[in-house]
Structures are given as structure tokens and as C-alpha cells.
Amino acid sequence: MNLVIGGNGGLGLSITQELLSRGKLVTASYHRSSQALKRLKGPLLKIAALDIQDEKRLAAALAGVSTVYFCLNVPYQDWYTVMPQALERVTSQLQSGQTLVFPGNVYGYGKFQYLPADERHPKAALTRKGKLRNELEELLKNQAALRGFRYVIPRYPDYYGPNVTNRVFGPIFNGALQAKTISWPVKLDVPHDLVYIQDAARAAVLLAESGEEGEWHISGSGAIEGREFLNIIQDEADSPRKCRALPGWAVRLAGIFDKEAKEFHELLYEFEYPLLLNENKFMKRFPEYSPTPYKEAVKETLGWFREQRE
């Protein structure tokens, strides 16, 4: 049995779909909305409301579960109060024989010290969110050592795809469908790894079912510059190639009125400098894994965004 915490979010939904495609039993939990999950059907799926603060319900949800996918997703400004408590509550109830998959990002590295960055890269974050991610991972490792459960951290660059509607990629795909000028943060011509959300999900499930543990980089379909990525989207949407760089000062200005924009501002360095991950460790272990080409992934993503507009 698998439990996906945060199953209604971008990665949680894709992991749920991946598990179902493999014939696995899945409980996909949600907190406030189950809108995306309601589109999934079948006897292998259970959709359940779950408030992690309710320890009795959490214990019941974890009972008999072999693998937990921690895909809880909250706005940036809520990370500091929600994420540490949520992770501690979950890990404090896990036991030997259970696995926790804790999807990671690159915030904890700070500005990359070498390229491509492998799993040994120093965790030298200077931002609040980067430091918090490192603290969360240390909490996870300490709890795993204490309680005897296995953990896996698949570490990704930014991901995009169906049901990924964050402040970067939501406006990009919606804007392309409306033939608008679309924006990319800071610099258009800096190489950047991106991973398709369904590839990220497949990698997470591969790791969970392999018996492996620890940290693993998954880099996506190859480095791509922002301008090229946007052009692929606009070509597939049959819209004109109109794009621009969104300067840091504009994000800072928006942050005066928008809490999430204020939090996003400290991450803009990721778009100012190259962001490339070394995934040799993962590919050597899983040679059968093949990421989706950008054009195919973009086509599928635009199809999903079209459906939401209908």
C-alpha cells in the first residue's frame, strides 16, 4: 500500500497516476481541495481527506502503508510554520519496514559552486527557504536513524507539466495559449535544467521500489535556455514567439503587495546563473529510465491547460 500525502498537487497527482499505472494500491490524501484527484478512477485508488495535525487520523492513514510519498505543498510564505511540523509528525510515526520518499529541490545548495552539481555538492544555502530545506532533510535523516525507516530524496530542478500551476509555469502556458508575451525570470539565455512532472514522478517511484536510499539527482531532458523553452511552447501553441525577461526589480516590487512574490525574489539567482545537475548516479542505477523530450512534454502540458480553460 502506498500513501501520497498532498496527492492533489502537481507532483503528488503525477505520483498517484504513476503508481496506478503500475497496478499499485494507492491512498491519495488532500487537505483542502481534491479537484484534480477526482478525475482519477479505479478500484486501486482511495481518495481521503487528511489533516496532518490530527495525530489519530494520521496514524490511521499510515497503518499498513509500505511507502509514503511526502508531497505536501503549501505557499512559500507558509513553509516555515507548516513544513517542519508536518514532517516531524509524519516521521515520528514511521517504523522499520516503511519507506518515506521526500522529493527535494536545489534550494539547499545555494548558488552552485561547480557544474553540473552532483549529490556531493555542499549545502551552502544563504536564503531562508534553502536553509529550511536543509533543516528538513536533517530532520528526516535523524528520524530515519532513530526509528529505522528507509528514506529516499529524489532531487529535482524546477518541474513543469499538467497540474503545475505555480507563479512561473502557470502564466507561461496560459499566456502561450492566449498568444500573449510570456515572461521568464531574470535572464532568457542562461542554461537551466527542467524536469517534466511525469518524469519526476516516475523517477520517485523507481527509487521507492528499488530498495535504494539516500539522495539522487534527476535532471530532466537536458539543459535548455529560457528563450528556447518558451519558443517550444509558443510554437506548439501556434502563437507568436514573443517573450521577455522578468527583471528582479519587478519581482521585488510585486512582493510589496504579494507575499508569495516576496518569497520568490530570493530564489531568482537560480535563473541568473546556470543550473545543471549531474544525474549519472541515477542513470547508472536505472538505465531503463528515459525522460520525455521537451516537445512531447510541452504538447501534453498545453493539452492539460487547454482542458482547464474549457
List per-residue pLDDT tens for the chain, 310 residues long.
999 999 999 999 999 999 999 999 999 999 888 888 988 989 999 999 999 989 999 999 999 999 999 999 888 889 999 999 999 999 999 999 999 999 999 999 999 999 999 999 999 999 999 999 999 999 999 999 999 999 999 999 999 999 999 989 999 999 999 999 999 999 999 999 999 999 999 999 999 999 999 999 999 999 999 999 999 999 999 999 999 999 887 777 676 667 777 788 889 999 999 999 999 999 999 999 999 999 999 999 999 999 998 7
Report pLDDT for 263. 81
Residues 6 or more apart whose Cβ sits within 8 Å of residue 28:
4, 7, 8, 12, 13, 16, 37, 40, 45, 46, 47, 48
Report pLDDT for 250. 78
Given 3.40.50.720, 3.30.590.20, 3.30.450.20, 3.20.20.70, which CATH number is that of 2-110+117-157+197-219+278-287? 3.40.50.720
Report pLDDT for 213. 97
- R_g of the chain computed on alpha carbons: 19
Report pLDDT for 75. 87
Report pLDDT for 257. 64
Name which of 123, 158, 119 is nearest 267 in CA terms.
158
Report pLDDT for 256. 64
Name the DSSP class of 216: E
- And the C-alpha cell for 44? 486501486
HSE-CB for 150 with a 13 A CA cutoff: 14
Report pLDDT for 248. 81
Report pLDDT for 142. 98
Report pLDDT for 301. 98
Report pLDDT for 73. 87
264 neighbors 76 (Cβ within 8 angstroms): yes
265 neighbors 192 (Cβ within 8 angstroms): no
Report pLDDT for 255. 67
Report the C-alpha gap between 4 and 259 in whole angstroms: 28
Report pLDDT for 76. 83
Helix (H) or strand (E) holding 27, with range, is: strand 26-30
Report pLDDT for 240. 97
Report pLDDT for 265. 86
Report pLDDT for 231. 98
